Structure 1
Amino acid sequence: MTNVRGVVGSTGRVGIVHNRGVRELTDRAVVLGSCVVLVLASGMPTPTTIVWFLVAVTCSGTCAAWGRWPAVGALPAAYLLAGCADRAAIVGVPLAVYELVGAVSDRGRWVWVGAAICVAPLALALRRGPDTVVSVAAVLAAVAALLAVRSGQVDRAHSALHAVRDDLQHRVTVLQERQTRLEEAQDHETRAAALAERTRIAREIHDGVGHLLTRLLFQVHAAQVAHRGAPEVEAELRQIAQTADEALSAMRAGVHALDDTGEDLGVALNRLATGCGINQTKVDCASAVSPPAPVTRCLVAVAREALTNAARHGKARTAWVTVADFPGFWRLTVANDGTVPAWAESPQRLHSAQPGADGLGLGTRSMTDRVESLGGTLRILTRPRFTMLATIPKETT
């Protein structure tokens, strides 16, 4: 983003410099022509007139080479002040006025100083007596001053326009980056919604169709017992039982296939946080890579049980659920500000506890079994707040 803005700004500055150079070259050519007219209008050029003319041209060329900055104005100012002592310097006044006005046109109070210096040689020349050449020089000097002012205004206007263009380009780049992030977030939400829907469908199939097929198998087995001794009926019932068992196995395989890719850890944890019954539940699941499906199901089950216990038994008002992705393992942390269970307050368990001892409920044992089935460990901390830590190594998953 910064590089794009810098390239655009550099291009704009190059364009400004190029346009300024062409415009100033044209203006100087016009003013130089007016000075030549003054030289010819003054009659036969004397050596002094030619010297003043050449000095004015040299001064203008030096100013053109150095560019527009305050110190450059010292050269034309010196020419004009020196020209107050010699009437022949009138021939170079338009050039000197153009350079001086160009140098001080946007310098605040220096504009008035420059104007006084520009007027000084012309005023002194006119005071010595009316002269057509001096009058023409005054008019040409006024035209040169207007050209310098116009050139400065155009330069400032172009600079402002290029600054606006650079700013707009910068804003467009920022908006494009934000649009990209929004599209990525939308794609993630769409995928998460699709995965959640697949999970819901898998559970409904498992709870609905699976229950019906299981009941059908029990009924067939009961019929087999009731018709024991009737070979033909028993053979038909055995075939029906085999078909129902195959259907149940196929249904379970399909459900597991859906469920293996149908659970997004972040979405599942946020759904649990919304419906767990705790006033404020903060979820931090910043893992860049989603854990495998068995790990995801295990972490979700542990978080569900821990949040349910915190709301039901601990009367917690705030809970924190954090998933950390370390190089060698995943860690789920579920902490709450509720009441610490009585079994965890014993001296042996003051700082940490390993589930499985007397006093632990079936929910805690179930969480322990789930985590240990994947080669992990479940720890319980009571300070500074009641916390469950589930750690599952990656190498076993």
Structure 2
Amino acid sequence: MSRLLDKTIVLLICLALLVRGPVDAALVSWLCVAVTLACLGEVVPERMRPALPLALLACGALAPGAGAYLPLAAYDITRPWEDTRGRWRRPPSVAAGALLVCACVAGDAATAPLRLLCCGVACLLSARATQAERAAASNRQTRDALQGRALELAAKNRDLMDRQEYEVELATLAERARIAREIHDNVGHLLTRATLQVEALRVVHAGEPRVQADFADVGATLGEALDTVRASVHALREDSVDLSVQMRKVVADVTAAAPLAVELDVRCDRVPPNACSCLLAVTREALSNVLRHAAAERVVLRCVEHPGFFQLEVTDDGTARSAGGTAAGGAAASTGMGLASMRERVEALGGTFWAGPCADGGWRVFVTVPKGGAGRGAA
């Protein structure tokens, strides 16, 4: 927009010079040509732009009527353009300057100095516009770089916040588990011992009905307290088990010193402690096998909760191991201790286990644990 304004100013200067002399049809025709070339200079590809002012200069050197509009050509002849490699180029300055001087002198010799002065003003306007465009381009680059840096810092900040929340949640769960252990190992045992002592005293004072009633009340109170402690321990233990957090910790521990990209997707709400332990153990063993045997670069780990069971799937893109896997209850089982251990853990909860090569390469471990079987062996 600023260049169109500059060209309008240059055109008005050219018209002001024409007022001093007679105006004929040739001048009007060349006015149309000059305006057309000036407008085309704003829409044609940059590599074609220098040809337009050079054509006007050539016309000015040959046709006296075209010389009145040489400042428009001078404006465009000093304007650089950007080539395909991103470098700024200008028309040959010496040849263009010589052609411009010849065109100015070819007309009326009396007005040649004034034409040259107007051409100099046009060149200054063009140089000012070019400097402004480069400054604007530099400002845009700086703005884009700052915005990119801001987005990068925002992403890092989100990662740090997520990491902080993860660490806080992990510490909270660990503290709940510790409290549950302390209550179970200390308070629970003390209450159990007190209950046994009360029962022993009841046996000793078997012939005293009044004492028996008092001991029965104390025993009932201790039994109620013990049941309350057990319920609290179970609640704390269940609250201390968050499969998503534990999975992330297992992945971080196993891949701490290995260049292995793990895509983790855990979509489970509340997982019983024994099922959570089983799934974590299978995940740890599967990732360890990937690091030791698969030569993989990427692992996809998904754990999904279905209405009747929990499903775990670990798939890598490495080389398939020679030991094949079969579904639980199948014909031949793998001889590897790791696979056998995983199978035993899963089948102990009534689940199914399969491990073997994928059709498109890599290795796949597939586990399902029924929700009914997940409650077996709960503490």
Cα pair 1:80 1:121 within 8 Å, conserved: yes
Q: CA deviation at 1:59?
A: 2.7
> Are the counterparts in 2 of residues 101 and 148 from structure 1 also a CA contact under 8 Å?
yes
Give the aligned partner of residue 95 of structure 1. 72
Match of 1:137 in 2: 115
* Alignment match, 1:312: none
Match of 2:201, SS state, is: helix
Counterpart contact for 2:275–2:369, Cα < 8 Å: no
The alignment's TM-score, normalised by the length of structure 2, stands at 0.69
1:120 and 2:94 aligned: no
1:37 matched to 2:13? The reply is no
The match for 2:377 is none
Q: For residues 26-70 of structure 1, give each alpha carbon's deviation from its aligned partner in whole angstroms, at most 9, with x where no partner exists.
A: 2112211221232234x3345444443443233324434x25623
Q: Distance in 2 between matches of 1:109 and 1:389?
A: 60
Matches within 5 A, 1:147-158: 147-158=125-136
> 1:240 Cα deviation (Å)?
1.1
Q: Which residue of structure 1 aligns with residue 220 of structure 2?
A: 242
Find the aligned partners of 1:192 and 1:170 in 2 and give their Cα distance: 33
Instruction: Give the CA deviation at 1:147.
Output: 1.4
**Aligned-partner Cα distance in 1 for 2:110–2:367:** 102
What is the aligned-residue RMSD (CA, Å)?
Answer: 4.6
Query: Structure 1 residues 106 and 319, CA, compared in 2 at 3 Å: closer, same or farther?
Result: closer
CA distance 1:25–1:54, shift in 2 (3 Å): same
When residues 125 and 325 of structure 1 are mapped into structure 2, their CA distance, relative to the original with a 3 A threshold, is closer
What are the equivalent positions in structure 2 for 1:1-397 lying under 5 Å apart?
21=1, 23-41=2-20, 43-64=21-42, 66=43, 69-102=46-79, 104=80, 111-113=90-92, 116-123=95-102, 126=105, 131-265=109-243, 286-290=264-268, 292-294=270-272, 296-300=273-277, 324-325=303-304, 327=306, 329-330=309-310, 351=333, 371-372=348-349, 376-377=350-351, 391-394=368-371
Displacement of 1:248: 0.6
Deviation at 1:80, TM superposition (A): 1.1
Q: Which amino acid aligns with 2:192?
A: T
Displacement of 1:121 in angstroms is 4.8
- The number of aligned residues is 331
3-state secondary structure, aligned to 1:288: strand
Q: Distance in 2 between matches of 1:55 and 1:195?
A: 82
Q: Distance in 2 between matches of 1:29 and 1:165?
A: 31
Distance apart, 1:305 and its partner CA: 12
Distance 1:128 1:122, change over 3 A: same
> Is the 1:264–1:290 Cα contact (8 Å) retained in structure 2?
no
C-alpha distance 164-229 of structure 1, shift in aligned 2 (>3 A) = same
Contact 1:213 1:244 in 2 (8 A): yes
1:70–1:268 CA distance, 2 compared to 1 (3 A): closer
Do the aligned partners of 1:35 and 1:91 also contact (CA within 8 Å) in 2?
A: yes
Query: Please, which runs of 5 or more residues in structure 1 have no aligned partner?
Result: 1-20, 309-316, 335-348, 354-359
State the 1:132 CA deviation. Answer: 3.5
Q: Greater CA deviation, 138-147 or 186-195?
A: 186-195
Contact 2:311 2:369 in 1 (8 A): yes
CA distance in 1, matches of 2:44, 2:70: 19
Query: What amino acid is aligned across from residue 76 of structure 2 in structure 1?
Result: E
Q: Matched residue of 2:78: which SS? A: helix
1 CA distance for matches of 2:116 and 2:283?
A: 94
Q: Name whichever structure is richer in helix by fraction.
A: 1
Give 1:32's aligned amino acid: L
1:303-337 Cα offsets, whole Å, 9 max, x none, are 679999xxxxxxxx9799x8843756435799xxx
> Percent identical across equivalent pairs?
29
1:339 equivalent in structure 2:
none
| Distance across 2 between alignment mates of 1:151 and 1:244 | 92
> Cα distance, 1:220 vs. partner?
0.9
Residue 128 of structure 1: how far off its partner (Å) = 9.0
Secondary structure class of the residue paired with 2:34: helix
